[in-house]
Structure 1
Amino acid sequence: MTPSLKPTHLSFTVVFFTVASPQDWILGSRQMIQSSRTILFLFLLAIVLDKHAIQVSARSLHDNSPDCDCYVTSGRSPAFFEYHRFYDFRDIAGDSVYDHEPANVTNSQSNGDEPGQQGYLNSSTFAKDWKIQTWGHEREGPDYPVTVQNSPQNVFIQRDLLESSTSHLTLRAYRAEDFTSTAELEGLQRNVLHASVRFRARVRGATGVVAGMFTYLNDSQESDIEILTRDPPNHIRYTNQPSVGSDGYDVPGASTELDLPAPIVWSEWVTHRLDWRPQMSSWYADGQWLLDKEYGVPYLPSYLVLNLWSNGGDWSGNMSLGSAAYLDIQWIDMVFNKSGPADGYKLEGIDKFRRNVNFVAKRESHCHRVCAVDDIPAAGFPVLVSQAASTMRKTEWMSMYALGLGLALASTF
């Protein structure tokens, strides 16, 4: 699905002046002053073009492409990231795809050890980045009245017969008699420290279910996109945890509920976006900015989680017996920075790490070849937008800028 683009190229001619003596400078000053305004304009134009993207080529850059040093996002607070991942579930073929969903988990299958779909989800391609969860949680008082059990049988690739026979990843939740059979995927890139993530997703089916797409380390290091099927289809929830204090009351500013801009509804395909920056979390839907949040921004390396669950409590709601709900994912596009080991930071020594996290964020980056991930022809195929920095050091840019500015000022006398 590589987009077909004709590369365009932008070139600059830079003129250097060599002055042999003060006399030479005086003799040539009139000519130099006459052209100074043009020179300054060219220098400033070069700097602006280096800062703002100029499309020069496009190609598939799915996984740490050698053609890109970093990736730039658009939006209210553009940011640069060093790494890129694109997980595309739309064109998976062969035996890895179901034409119809698998059988629901029965009441007797309560251990989470049911066989999963073979093929793609059982391949090293998928398994190197994702793990299907099998843990469960027993019912626990009035706040957790129904047992939850994750099952591999609820995670599968399905052909979408209504959309040109393309495929998508599906997470399913099903209400059996004694428990809710649920689904969760955890990312294995566990050292993500700041990211911009896009999920092309929809939620459908029974009420009483929570669909989550979020970054996670623990209950105080978590940024959420959450959809509750008991809500209207234009209503969504964004949260930085913890959202409940030690006193049992909601933390002001932790969670925000809002309506999606018309005509966006989560029951149809939407590109949900979460930006995690050092001091701010931001949320978007189909490219439209919706919210910034300064409270509870995670500061420790984390990983991605997708889940679909219901415990019958007041928050999730209660599914009807025999009903099912679905979280469908076409693709996930993520640019990110990382810190520490790939399998994640251990929680011991958090205080020490927190003191050093700003140092990690300030490390020098040789970002010479920049690729854009927004406003491009095809999602997941970043576009190379700048190479100018790779041919000239920052000090050289500043020297040329100073020369042009000096000439412009000289022309005023």
Structure 2
Amino acid sequence: MESIKRIPSLPAALSSLVLLISAVVPLATAEPTLTDDSQCGCYRNNDDTSTYFTNHRFFDFRSLADYAGVPAVVQDLEGSPGAPVTSDYFKSTDWTSFWWLGSWNNSNNARGDSTVTMTNSPNNVYIEANTEPDPSSQTYLTMRTQRLRGFQTAAEIESVSSDFKYLSLRMRARTVGAAGAITGMFTYRGGETLADVQEADLEIRTADPRNVMHYTNQPAYTDDGEVIAEATRNATMPGGLDWTAWAVHRMDWTPGLTTWYVDDEMTAQIAFQAPRDESNVILNVWSDGGKWTGNMTLLDAAYLQVQWLEIMYNNTDPEHATKNSKVRRDDDAAEGKGCGAVCSVDDTPELGKPVMLWNNAAVGVREAGAGRLIAWVPTGVVLVMALLSTGLLV
């Protein structure tokens, strides 16, 4: 008859179990690990929806002294749209793979009450030295609009791809200059009729009080000129700021919702007619002399100045996306569906570089709370190993 092995006391077994679990399931570092985009399967947004995006780009204009210089304004309407780019920075692959500079004019699609011909020019987008006292950057990107004799020269930056579907777009920026202009950051999908347009935008009117901003899911009016009140929220800059101060303006376009922030404080949220389909991403500064922009005084100018741009996004065009374009929720990511390695650009100690939150492709790294990760193995395996080590299983 086989002898029965001696069973250790319960306290001893529990002690061994705790020691074994501590050895097998160690806590990882308290802070997420700095990484790079090549290691990230997707990016988790820090908003209430916990949306997941599949791509990330960061454009840094803060240290580009080699490209800095303010170009003279092109004074003739014919030469303005065809002007060359203002520096080699705008010829770089990093730039041209994502953005192009607008050169269209409003002669064929002028707004109903516009009084001035407006043309976009590459000459109005340039890198500028930051000469303010105690500057927060060495340089920044400037977009310029100015009223000239006979026309308004303006600036637009538009994404090469028109296939963005959901994103979190951020810029550290300020608006300065004379009344009569609009600066904007928005998504845009055109259509054959006004009702077909899909657009989510931030607009700052330089004729407004300096703390007022306008957020809209366009269209904000009908063909008959009737205002659609549900489409717009008017807000003020938080914390006593005004839009001439540097601040991080952010727009999150998620399924059925558009949300805007300034310096991480929510300033507006609109579900009504949120964009549904693939769109472009656009920044601009412009005026057409109409009621919305105001009529800028001759030779006056206004500027959108940007220290950096950051975007997490999905893109349905494989040429402009490095991964499959899918929006992931917490339960999907936790189950390891699709994302694999999950990163964040919100919790990073280094602007523009992601941190790894967890990696389902590794030893099963999972989130354990704000800023903490744990490595896990199946509980049953741990218990079996623990019981074997203590002699509770023969």
State whether structure 2 residue 379 is matched by structure 1 residue 400. yes
SS, match of residue 174 in structure 2 = strand
TM-score, length basis structure 1? 0.75
CA contact (8 A) 1:55 1:383 kept: no
Q: What residue is the counterpart of 1:247 in the other structure?
A: 224
SS, match of residue 293 in structure 2 = coil
Match for residue 160 of structure 1 among 118, 126, 130: 130
1:246 deviation in Å? Answer: 3.6
Distance (Å, rounded) in 2 between the aligned partners of 1:108 and 1:81: 41
TM-score, length basis structure 2? 0.79
1:221 deviation in Å? Answer: 1.8
Closer, same or farther: CA 161–368 of 1 in aligned 2, 3 Å: same
Q: What residue is the counterpart of 1:385 in the other structure?
A: 357
CA contact (8 A) 1:105 1:176 kept: no
Q: What residue is the counterpart of 1:90 in the other structure?
A: 62
CA contact (8 A) 1:112 1:134 kept: yes
1:28 deviation in Å? Answer: 8.5
Q: Which amino acid aligns with 1:249?
A: E
SS, match of residue 74 in structure 2 = coil
Tell me the alpha carbon deviations over residues 52-93 of structure 1, each in whole angstroms, 9 at most, x when there is no partner.
x9524224x3xxx22212212213332221111001111113
1:176 deviation in Å? Answer: 0.7
Distance (Å, rounded) in 2 between the aligned partners of 1:401 and 1:233: 61
Where in structure 2 are the equivalents of 1:197-276 lying within 5 Å?
A: 197-218=169-190, 220-276=197-253
Distance (Å, rounded) in 1 between the aligned partners of 2:151 and 2:175: 21
Q: What residue is the counterpart of 1:348 in the other structure?
A: none
State whether structure 2 residue 102 is matched by structure 1 residue 133. yes
CA contact (8 A) 2:166 2:313 kept: yes
Distance (Å, rounded) in 2 between the aligned partners of 1:28 and 1:294: 62
Closer, same or farther: CA 54–143 of 1 in aligned 2, 3 Å: farther
SS, match of residue 239 in structure 2 = coil
CA contact (8 A) 2:56 2:313 kept: yes
Q: What residue is the counterpart of 1:4 in the other structure?
A: none
Tell me the alpha carbon deviations over residues 344-367 of structure 1, each in whole angstroms, 9 at most, x when there is no partner.
9xxxxxxxxxxxx99999898432
CA contact (8 A) 1:339 1:360 kept: no
SS, match of residue 86 in structure 2 = coil
Aligned residue pairs total: 356
SS, match of residue 58 in structure 2 = strand
1:29 deviation in Å? Answer: 11
State whether structure 2 residue 53 is matched by structure 1 residue 81. yes
State whether structure 2 residue 291 is matched by structure 1 residue 291. no
SS, match of residue 39 in structure 2 = coil
Distance (Å, rounded) in 2 between the aligned partners of 1:402 and 1:257: 56
Tell me the alpha carbon deviations over residues 231-272 of structure 1, each in whole angstroms, 9 at most, x when there is no partner.
111111111112112432111311110111122221111100
CA contact (8 A) 1:333 1:379 kept: no
Distance (Å, rounded) in 2 between the aligned partners of 1:211 and 1:285: 15
Distance (Å, rounded) in 1 between the aligned partners of 2:145 and 2:81: 13
- For structure 1, which runs of at least 5 residues remain unmatched after alignment? 1-22, 345-356, 405-413
Closer, same or farther: CA 170–186 of 1 in aligned 2, 3 Å: same
Closer, same or farther: CA 145–389 of 1 in aligned 2, 3 Å: same
Same amino acid, percent of matched pairs: 33
Distance (Å, rounded) in 2 between the aligned partners of 1:36 and 1:282: 51
State whether structure 2 residue 86 is matched by structure 1 residue 117. yes
Q: Which amino acid aligns with 1:149?
A: T
SS, match of residue 137 in structure 1 = coil
SS, match of residue 238 in structure 2 = coil
Distance (Å, rounded) in 2 between the aligned partners of 1:250 and 1:389: 51
CA root-mean-square deviation: 3.6
CA contact (8 A) 1:376 1:383 kept: yes
Distance (Å, rounded) in 1 between the aligned partners of 2:150 and 2:294: 16
Distance (Å, rounded) in 2 between the aligned partners of 1:122 and 1:365: 38
Q: What residue is the counterpart of 2:74 in the other structure?
A: 105
Match for residue 151 of structure 2 among 163, 175, 179: 179
Distance (Å, rounded) in 1 between the aligned partners of 2:317 and 2:111: 39
Q: What residue is the counterpart of 1:150 in the other structure?
A: 120
SS, match of residue 136 in structure 1 = coil
Distance (Å, rounded) in 1 between the aligned partners of 2:183 and 2:363: 47
Distance (Å, rounded) in 2 between the aligned partners of 1:31 and 1:302: 63
Closer, same or farther: CA 239–142 of 1 in aligned 2, 3 Å: closer
Closer, same or farther: CA 388–107 of 1 in aligned 2, 3 Å: closer
Q: What residue is the counterpart of 1:313 in the other structure?
A: 290
Closer, same or farther: CA 257–165 of 1 in aligned 2, 3 Å: closer
SS, match of residue 90 in structure 1 = coil
- For structure 2, which runs of at least 5 residues remain unmatched after alignment? 192-196, 367-374, 384-394
Q: What residue is the counterpart of 1:301 in the other structure?
A: 278
CA contact (8 A) 1:191 1:342 kept: no
Distance (Å, rounded) in 2 between the aligned partners of 1:320 and 1:391: 64
Closer, same or farther: CA 148–380 of 1 in aligned 2, 3 Å: same
Closer, same or farther: CA 38–343 of 1 in aligned 2, 3 Å: closer
SS, match of residue 253 in structure 1 = helix
Closer, same or farther: CA 147–73 of 1 in aligned 2, 3 Å: same
Closer, same or farther: CA 28–248 of 1 in aligned 2, 3 Å: farther
Distance (Å, rounded) in 1 between the aligned partners of 2:77 and 2:38: 50
Distance (Å, rounded) in 2 between the aligned partners of 1:68 and 1:393: 14
1:375 deviation in Å? Answer: 3.8
1:313 deviation in Å? Answer: 0.5
Q: Which amino acid aligns with 1:92?
A: L
SS, match of residue 185 in structure 1 = strand
Closer, same or farther: CA 393–193 of 1 in aligned 2, 3 Å: same
Tell me the alpha carbon deviations over residues 191-232 of structure 1, each in whole angstroms, 9 at most, x when there is no partner.
221111111111100111011111122262211011111111
CA contact (8 A) 1:169 1:329 kept: yes
